[in-house]
Structure formats: C-alpha cells, structure tokens
Amino acid sequence: MLTHGDNPSRRTTRRTSLGDLVELVRAPAALTVPGDVLAGAVAVGDLRRGRTAGLAVSSVCLYWAGMALNDWADRDVDAVERPERPIPSGRVPERTALALAVGLTATALGIAGVAGGRPALCTSAALALTAWSYDLGAKDTPAGPVVMAAARSLDVLVGAGPARRKAWAPALAVGAHVVGLTAMSRGEVHGATARPAQAALAATSAITAGTVAGARGVPGLVAAGLSALFAGSVAPAQLAAAQEPTAGRLRAAVGAGIHGLVPLQAAWCARGGKPAVGAGLVTALPLARALARKVSPT
C-alpha cells in the first residue's frame, strides 16, 4: 500500500538507505557552511567555542533541510530532467524528503536558540524562512538568485549575533558570490546564454578586490593569499562557461562556486584579524572537492 502523498510512479522497491539520504541533502557540500558562521563570528570578535560550534551545526542542519526541500519541490521536474535523483528514482519517498526538511529545520532552530540565544534564534528563523521561500516559490522567479544570496548572507549574520552590523561586509561578499552561482545554476540542464557566467566572473573580480582592500599587516597578507585562492578556484570555470555556456560547463562553474565559498570565508576570517582561523578553515577545501566526486554538490 502506498503512503499518502507518494506518487505511484515513484514507489520505492527497498528501504531508503543512509547513502540515499546523504545524496538527497548533498551532505558533503555542507562543508562550505560553517565558514559562514565563522566569518560572522570573527567580524564581531565572538569566537566562544560552544557558541560557534553550535551555530555551525545549526547552519549545517538548515543547509541539509534546504536541499531536501529543494528536491521535494522539484520532484516533478526532476522526474523528467534528472530521473536519477533520489526522489524520482524511487529511492527516497516524497513524504520522507519533506519530513526530513521539516525535522532538520526544527532541529536547527532549537540548536541556534540554545547556542546563541534569542539573537541567533531570530536570525536563524529569518534564514529558514528565506530558504523555504526560495525552494517553494522564489526559485523560478527573477528574484530567485537574490533570495538565495540573502539566505547565505543571513548565515553569516547568524555567527555575528546581536552585533551583526559589524559583519555586513563578509555577509555581502558571500551574498554577491551566491547571486552569481545561483543564476548560473538555472542553466545546469539545458544550458544558457553567456550572461550569467559573465556576471559571475565580474562579481568574482569585484569580491576579490573588495576583500583585500584596506587590509594591513599579516592578516592582510593572509587575506590576500586566500582571496587569490578564491579567485583561482572559481574564475577559470566561470570563464569557460562564459565562453561556451553549455549545461556541463555551467554545472562545473556552479560546483566550483560552491567550493569557492570556503576560501572566500577564510579570507574574511583572516581580514577580521584571525589569519590562523582562515588558514585552518581553508583546509576543508580539498576534502570538499574529494567528496564531491562521490556526491554531487548540485
């Protein structure tokens, strides 16, 4: 007997495995998330371990919730365009994906409240609302890339807490980068014009310059090096997609852009006076790239 809410064409023939859920939520891609919280925490000078770790875990849960909700919302489109994904392939029931999104969101908000108090809870709630709005309505509208960028900017502000005004610069840098990669992601299946990749490439140049502008001393030097790593990790794929905006090249540019968040976050940690934190954070990049060969981040 089918459970209520499941499409008969997607009847599962076996139990959903942990690997299926890992694929559904793009679990390894969550390595790009804790750096948002770190960048915000560094910007306001609040790196209390318990608070920072808790907020990072909360943000990872929200990221996974957004991925599960994304595939639930796209299940009919994916049945045609990406039938190998967990829901259309029948490996994860529709109601399981939705329940996972709800459960992870609730878990994230609970952790945020415990770790960061009311300020973190309020910002996390705004982040969750923005992510759900993107997946359930804004994704296919002209405002979609901006809404997604707002979600990642809010993730930086989660780490900043009540002094969030001091973290607007890294939040805007992360958001500007995400606007570009989200716009490119719309061509991952059928290709697109060169404009999204060209805009993303221009944004990369502006973000890189803005990240190092005015930086001084050892933190500035480390920030410059990490900014160069950011540009070097995303610009070649963006340039290739701008020259030939096929679906494959755009997917590659989006994947590079997701991973490029790590050196960008690290650069802002260094610029905020914590070069060791930035250097430590960027060590997650090789692992994220390696795991992406097993589970696609897009």
Rounded to an integer, the average pLDDT of 220-245 is 97
* Pure H helices in the chain: 18-24, 34-44, 49-73, 75-81, 94-133, 144-160, 168-185, 195-212, 217-243, 247-271, 275-281, 284-292
Domains and their CATH numbers in the chain: 27-292 (1.10.357.140)
Give the per-residue pLDDT at 2.
Answer: 36
Residue that has been written with the tokens 């790239």 in this structure: 289
Q: For the chain, what percent of residues have pLDDT higher than 70?
A: 95
Is pTM beyond 0.85? Reply is yes
Q: Is the pLDDT of residue 127 over 70?
A: yes
Is the Cβ–Cβ distance between 167 and 159 less than 8 Å? yes
Q: What is the pLDDT of residues 137-183, one digit of tens each?
A: 999 999 999 999 999 999 999 999 999 999 999 999 999 999 999 99
Give the per-residue pLDDT at 175.
Answer: 97
Q: What is the pLDDT of residues 41-72, one digit of tens each?
A: 999 999 999 999 999 999 999 999 999 999 99
As a whole number, the mean pLDDT across the chain is 93
Q: Is the pLDDT of residue 13 over 60?
A: no
Q: Burial-class residue 50 by CB neighbours within 10 Å (0-12, 13-18, 19+).
A: exposed
Q: For the chain, what percent of residues have pLDDT higher than 90?
A: 90
